[in-house]
Structure 1
Amino acid sequence: MKLILQQEVKNLGKKGDVIEASEGYARNYLLPRKLAIPATAGNVNAAQQQKENEARKAKRILDEARLHAAQIAKLQVTVAVKTGEGGRLFGSVTSKDVADALKNQHGLDLDKRKIELKDAIKALGAYPVTIKLHPEVSAQIEVQVTAQ
């Protein structure tokens, strides 16, 4: 029996895939749980249309992320922290500190989990920081750490 998956099913396929399943498995498991629908001509066309719409949406999101990355790459952020002797920081500069500085200085509201610090920043100076905007798009900014 030919079916179109409505959700990802382990060992069968992903959403929108047209699969071949046994009559009993389809009738007793997939169809009652709304995991699949029969692969009629109308349903196949609708699934194809939905895949195309999702592809267009994913492309639009990727283009927006690239544009946003180009704008962010031009930015420089200054973080003022308390220091001790020899320019050593009390604690370290975290991704939350960088996110707060971006929001205060440039009005960008980014999630701290998208900001990737290679190592903890524990001294004064300029450091490159990577911001992941999309799984395929990232931007590099410079964080200037200064004494308060």
Structure 2
Amino acid sequence: MQVILQEDVISLGKVGDVVDVKDGYARNYLIPNKKAVFADSRNVKKLEHQKQVVAAKKQKMKKGAEALLEKLKKMTITIERESNEEEKIFGSVTNKDVAEMLRKEGVVIDRHLIQIDSPIKNIGVYDIPVKVHSEVTGTVKVWVVKK
């Protein structure tokens, strides 16, 4: 019997897969526990429609992320910090600081998307990687200057 999986089943497959299983396994376990539905023509059409909707939504999100990335590439962020004579700043600049400065510039980005390997502790210019989408990554230029 063919069924369409509604959730991941370890030994069978992932959500949306059409798999062949024994009749008893489908009727007694998969379908009553809402892990699968019968693979009739109506459910297959519904699955195809859902896949198209999800693909369109992903494409729209990717285009939005690319537009945001273009906006970020044009920006430069300036962060002022107290420092000593050796140009080491007191404290550090973290992804939270960069996200806050971007928010002040009108770009709202979650701080977890800003990928600073280690906190910035010196005066200078830094290219900070930003992952705005799973497939779209860019950089934003950050100037750390003396106060």
Shorter-chain TM range is over 0.9
Match of 1:138 in 2: 137
Unaligned stretches of 5+ residues in structure 2: none
Match of 2:109 in 1: 110
Task: Tell me whether 1:124 sits opposite 2:136 in the alignment.
Answer: no
What amino acid does structure 2 have at the position aligned with 1:67? A
Mapped to 2, the partners of 1:91 and 1:25 lie a distance apart of 61
Match of 2:61 in 1: 61
Q: Following TM superposition, by how much is the alpha carbon of 1:15 offset from its aligned partner in structure 2, in angstroms?
A: 1.4
Partner of 1:73: helix, strand, or coil? helix
Match of 2:86 in 1: 86
Match of 1:74 in 2: 74
Q: Following TM superposition, by how much is the alpha carbon of 1:13 offset from its aligned partner in structure 2, in angstroms?
A: 1.4
The TM-score normalised by the length of structure 1 is 0.94
What amino acid does structure 1 have at the position aligned with 2:71? Q
What amino acid does structure 1 have at the position aligned with 2:65? A
**RMSD of equivalent CA atoms:** 1.2
Number of positions where the alignment pairs a residue of Structure 1 with one of Structure 2:
147
Q: Following TM superposition, by how much is the alpha carbon of 1:119 offset from its aligned partner in structure 2, in angstroms?
A: 3.4
Partner of 1:85: helix, strand, or coil? coil
Match of 1:35 in 2: 35
Query: Once superposed, which parts of structure 1, at least 4 consecutive aligned residues long, lie more than 3 Å away?
Result: none
Mapped to 1, the partners of 2:25 and 2:81 lie a distance apart of 63
The TM-score normalised by the length of structure 2 is 0.94
Unaligned stretches of 5+ residues in structure 1: none
